[in-house]
Amino acid sequence: MGPLAFARGADTWQLVADVEFDKHGTSYDRRVSEIFHARGVVVEDGAFATGEISFHSAHCFHTAGANRTITARMVLATTYFRDGVRVVPAPTMVSGDWQKFIPGAQPGEVVATDHNPVIG
């Protein structure tokens, strides 16, 4: 079902920060794989047991392989960030999906939406 995979090391994302993202092809994935292989980065992609969860930083480089089954992959994700955080000037999430997670917020604006309430 394409298990969640993590590149070992909290700073591995920096190795590929300058790789140009291609939302329509696989060149980004190939280049990241090449760089990680060349630098000896270990990628953990073992299956999760039912009910097992992962807590990780958004900076932790992670991905999921293709779902080669007929069963839908179900994911529940929660993101926490400090009060007053702003949307980055040029969001890069695939196909503008970032707008689904912070609807109504624009680049440079404080994130405070119905989906992202400030809790005290």
- Mind listing the pLDDT tens digit for each residue in 82-112? 888 998 887 766 656 788 888 888 999 998 8
As given in the structure block, the two tokens for residue 10 are 């909290």
Per domain, the residue ranges of the chain are 1-70, 78-120
Residue 73 near residue 64 (C-beta atoms within 8 A): yes
* pTM as predicted: 0.65
As given in the structure block, the two tokens for residue 85 are 């955080």
Chain-centroid distance of CA 109 in Å reads 21
- Mind listing the pLDDT tens digit for each residue in 16-31? 989 988 778 888 889 9
Please identify which residue in the block is written with the tokens 């779902």. Answer: 67
- Nearest-CA neighbor of 84 among 108, 112, 106? 112
> Beta 4-7 vs 43-44: how paired, if at all?
antiparallel
